[in-house]
Chains A and B, each alone.
Chain A
Amino acid sequence: MNLGNVGNILMLVCLLASLIQSTQLLPKKIDIDYKIFSRLPFYSSLLAFILLIYIFVDSNFNYQLVVNNSHSEKPLIYKIAGAWGNHEGSLLLWILVLTIFNFIFSYSKIEHADFKKNVIAFQSLMIFGFTLFLLLTSNPFTPTETIVSEGLGLNPVLQDLLLAIHPPILYVGYVGYSLVLSFAIGGMITNKVDKEWAQWIHPWVLTAWIFLTLGIGLGSFWAYYELGWGGYWFWDPVENASLMPWLAGTALFHCVIILEKKNILQSWTILLSILTFSLSLIGTFLVRSGILNSVHTFASDPARGLFILIFLAIILIISFTLYAFKGPLLDNKSEMNLVSKESSILANNWLLLSTLFVVFLGTLYPLGTDLFLQKSTSVGPNYYILSLLPIIVLLLFFMIIGPNAKWQSDKISSIILSTNKLFILSLAIIFGFSIYFDELHLTQITLLTLCLTLILVSIKDGLRVNHNYTIIKPSLGKSLAHIGFGLLILSVVANATFAQEKIFQAKVSDILILDDQKFRFDSVEQNKGKNYNSIIATFHLMDNKTILETFKPEIRVYSNPPTVTSETSIIRKFLTDIYVVMNIPENSDFVNVRIHIKPLISFIWLSIILMVIGGMSAIVFRIKLKK
């Protein structure tokens, strides 16, 4: 039998099973076994996904998707990754992850049967919608119209191990929030949004957050070494699209904590759940379908973009209609004290949402001018930096005092007392640095001091409860994540302040000097890689006559598809990265070399790892505590 037909049948099974399951949302319930219909879509979409990988590995050019995105000479790992490195395949992956979450949740031990049924049913409704989208507009199993013997290849910039594993991780993050939305819907339908609900949703919110954090980190790391621009974040729409659900998801997670502890903010938590998944949807698909990048791609395939917009609209209409009826009834009528842990978490909620607003406006503004004024625009990075600066300062401030405040009510004086020593210590350290380097502005001193205070306070927070064995565990995760965030901002600021770069036009045996470091350009040679030809230059970092480090930046010329890429050469040290990238202009007898000296870059990656580990340990200790 034709493999493509098998794939289509599998997706049809997925479609029908999830449709049947989603009828459970209707007031008049047909009695069906949720175990079968919530798990069947998982099995069928898993098989379909394996099938798709198989036709990519097999270089089966009877399928349009393989022709467009693969090539028989491509290394095996990129043939596999090619399966999800395109719109159709990634949509199938998205569906697979949706079903995985539903599958795992169907095994959960939540005893509230009606709630569980509704969550599964709404999740199934989303699976149904996306499968319909796949079958109607983006079928990965579409056969070619003519006989093709060779594929067009995958963009070489995308032929990278990290980029191959990065979308699945990011997707688990995005899609994790779909289950969170299903929880919100289920909770509203069954009037079950309380402490217990918060307990149930907690690990799922955290799981999605961990994967999203990791996904964003990996994407940033990839951009740093592969694109060769020397930066790690460009405020590009694609990057912003992943940052927006992260910001909303972080706010949501903190609200869930308050709800779990104090049984307040029910409707606000629901609202954030809806917002977070909506942003995930906007993020992935508007970028995938090209709407955010340019309106013109939208016009070339209106069906695809339109479907997503309709889908998003349906989800929003369902959620908000429910919310309009149920939302106000959910809230506990208890007043919040102005000076308390919950109020400072809430303040940070607003700051995170302000950050979200800034990013949202900057990302979508060009779309607006393009649609309504027929004018192409883009938004410069300065907009983000200047707008976010005051927000970040406040955010850090509340992160310092929040964890030290007591639930319910506290005194300002006692909070200050518990943090002021570390604040003064940080200020002294940063001030010392400032005098030593002689180039720090007030904003930099403010930011760095607050970051350092946050790190110290969080360390102390993690250590203090060390004596009490049972309490240390859950709060260790929080401490790690907060240290991570402080370290992230600290490294970003330090990097922006002290980074140096210079462009050279160099011929062999030239000596290039940047920041008192001497780089000798020693040789250029040609090389042949697996599916490309390359030119490799050798630079040595010299100390008088001795060679300290060797750099081998490279230019690769691919033929399928015809592309030239510059491969960076990075020497990573504990405190500083040295980053060398080159290219060769047409008809010239010299090479262009750009050397960056980038302090604390490794700490940016470290800080993301800390946040991820923090999240993971919070989950692990939570499970342990339950037992």
Chain B
Amino acid sequence: MSKKVKKRLITILLSSLVLIIATLLITMNLKDNIIYFYSPTELQGASIDKKNIIRVGGLVKEDSYEYNDKTKIYSFIITDNSNDVDVEFVGIMPNLFAENKGVVVEGLAIDKKKITAIKVLAKHDENYMPPEVIEALKKEGQWQEK
């Protein structure tokens, strides 16, 4: 092997090694930071790590929205009309939050029926329905096209 070829071979080997390690690290990092979306029904069947942030979406159930003045906790129920999930949240509720409207919350599951929200995702438009929510309602046969 000539010197030039040897030099090139080493460069190629080294750079591919770096590339492989970098790709591995990045994909492992990606795996840790993926946020899964569940409808209330899907949540019942899912195996959930309580340390991982998840998203849950559906409709805000009628007469479920409450605010506790002392604890400063908002609570409401997300439903897909088959299953319900209780949500507790401390923070600012988005402007367009309302009962019977679509909502997506991001937070930690306490169990399969309860979630502590870190974010209640803001939506810009009153008639906007998060696509995940539409899909979730469709799966449960609860979606009506307007």
A residues at B contact (CB < 8 Å): 155, 157, 227, 229, 293-294, 296-297, 335, 354, 357-358, 361-362, 365, 369, 375-380, 382-383, 386-387, 503, 505, 555, 561-566, 583, 585-586, 588, 592, 594
Residue of B nearest to A358 (CB): B26
Give the CA-CA distance A265 to B90 in the complex, in Å. 56
List 16 extra interface pairs beyond A293-B131, A369-B34, A377-B34, CB under 8 A: A227-B122, A296-B135, A354-B22, A361-B26, A362-B30, A377-B36, A379-B35, A386-B29, A387-B30, A503-B90, A503-B92, A561-B126, A563-B96, A583-B93, A583-B94, A588-B67
Chain B neighbourhood of A563, CB < 8 A: 96, 124-126
B33 touches A376 (CB 8 A): no
B95 touches A555 (CB 8 A): yes
Chain A neighbourhood of B91, CB < 8 A: 503
The answer to the question of B55 belonging to the interface, with a C-beta cut-off of 8 Å to chain A, is yes
Chain A neighbourhood of B96, CB < 8 A: 563-564
B29 touches A375 (CB 8 A): no
- CB contact between B72 and one of A377, A380, A505, A583 (< 8 Å): that residue: A505
Chain B neighbourhood of A561, CB < 8 A: 125-127
Give the CA-CA distance A365 to B30 in the complex, in Å. 9
Give the CA-CA distance A562 to B67 in the complex, in Å. 25
B36 touches A375 (CB 8 A): yes
- CB contact between A155 and one of B32, B35, B36, B125 (< 8 Å): that residue: B125
- CB contact between A592 and one of B65, B92, B126 (< 8 Å): that residue: B92
Query: Which B90-109 residues sit within 8 Å CB-CB of chain A?
Result: 90-98
What are the interface flags for B20-49 relative to A under an 8 Å C-beta threshold, 1 for contact and 0 otherwise? Answer: 001001110110111111000000000000
How many A-B Cβ pairs are below 8 Å?
94
Closest 3 CB pairs of A and B: A383-B33, A376-B37, A564-B95
Chain A neighbourhood of B127, CB < 8 A: 561-562
Q: How far is the CB of B9 from chain A (nearest CB, A)?
A: 14
Given A155-B124, A375-B36, A505-B72, A585:B93 Cβ within 8 A: yes
The A interface is mostly helix, strand or loop, or mixed, namely: mixed
Give the CA-CA distance A375 to B35 in the complex, in Å. 11
A378 touches B55 (CB 8 A): yes
B124 touches A565 (CB 8 A): yes
Give the CA-CA distance A416 to B137 in the complex, in Å. 62
Q: How far is the CB of B118 from chain A (nearest CB, A)?
A: 11
Residue of A nearest to B119 (CB): A229
Chain A neighbourhood of B67, CB < 8 A: 585, 588
Given A155-B125, A294-B131, A562-B126, A380:B26 Cβ within 8 A: no
Chain B neighbourhood of A387, CB < 8 A: 25-26, 29-30
The answer to the question of B134 belonging to the interface, with a C-beta cut-off of 8 Å to chain A, is yes
B33 touches A382 (CB 8 A): yes
- CB contact between A376 and one of B22, B36, B95, B125 (< 8 Å): that residue: B36
Chain B neighbourhood of A376, CB < 8 A: 36-37, 55, 132, 135
Give the CA-CA distance A381 to B32 in the complex, in Å. 11
What are the interface flags for B110-146 relative to A under an 8 Å C-beta threshold, 1 for contact and 0 otherwise? Answer: 0000000000001011110001101100000000000
Residue of A nearest to B25 (CB): A387
B residues at A contact (CB < 8 Å): 4, 22, 25-27, 29-30, 32-37, 53, 55, 65, 67, 72, 74, 90-98, 122, 124-127, 131-132, 134-135
Residue of B nearest to A295 (CB): B131
Chain A neighbourhood of B30, CB < 8 A: 361-362, 365, 379, 383, 387
A380 touches B92 (CB 8 A): no
Give the CA-CA distance A583 to B132 in the complex, in Å. 26
Q: How far is the CB of B73 from chain A (nearest CB, A)?
A: 11
Most B-side CB within 10 Å, residue of A296, A380, A555: A380
Most B-side CB within 10 Å, residue of A354, A503, A563: A563
Give the CA-CA distance A378 to B33 in the complex, in Å. 9
Chain B neighbourhood of A565, CB < 8 A: 95, 124
Most B-side CB within 10 Å, residue of A376, A377, A583: A376
Chain B neighbourhood of A380, CB < 8 A: 33-35, 53
Give the CA-CA distance A555 to B125 in the complex, in Å. 14
Provide a sorted-by-A list of 30 A–B residue pairs whose CB atoms are within 8 angstroms. Answer: A157-B124, A296-B131, A296-B134, A296-B135, A335-B4, A354-B22, A361-B27, A361-B30, A375-B37, A376-B37, A376-B55, A376-B132, A378-B34, A378-B37, A379-B30, A379-B34, A380-B35, A383-B29, A383-B32, A386-B33, A387-B29, A503-B90, A505-B72, A561-B126, A563-B126, A564-B95, A564-B96, A583-B92, A585-B67, A586-B98
Residue of A nearest to B31 (CB): A383
Give the CA-CA distance A131 to B22 in the complex, in Å. 42
Q: How far is the CB of A464 from chain B (nearest CB, A)?
A: 33
Q: How far is the CB of A519 from chain B (nearest CB, A)?
A: 16
Q: How far is the CB of A258 from chain B (nearest CB, A)?
A: 18
Give the CA-CA distance A563 to B95 in the complex, in Å. 9
Chain B neighbourhood of A386, CB < 8 A: 29, 33
Chain B neighbourhood of A335, CB < 8 A: 4
Q: How far is the CB of A285 from chain B (nearest CB, A)?
A: 19
Chain A neighbourhood of B37, CB < 8 A: 375-378
Chain B neighbourhood of A583, CB < 8 A: 92-95
Chain A neighbourhood of B36, CB < 8 A: 375-377
Residue of B nearest to A338 (CB): B11
Give the CA-CA distance A274 to B129 in the complex, in Å. 37
Residue of A nearest to B132 (CB): A376
Give the CA-CA distance A51 to B27 in the complex, in Å. 49
Residue of B nearest to A229 (CB): B122
Q: How far is the CB of B144 from chain A (nearest CB, A)?
A: 16
Give the CA-CA distance A361 to B93 in the complex, in Å. 32
B34 touches A365 (CB 8 A): yes
Give the CA-CA distance A377 to B33 in the complex, in Å. 10
Residue of A nearest to B37 (CB): A376
Give the CA-CA distance A617 to B132 in the complex, in Å. 47
Chain B neighbourhood of A564, CB < 8 A: 95-96, 126
Given A294-B131, A563-B124, A357:B95 Cβ within 8 A: no
Give the CA-CA distance A379 to B55 in the complex, in Å. 11
Chain A neighbourhood of B97, CB < 8 A: 585-586
Residue of B nearest to A300 (CB): B131
Chain A neighbourhood of B25, CB < 8 A: 387
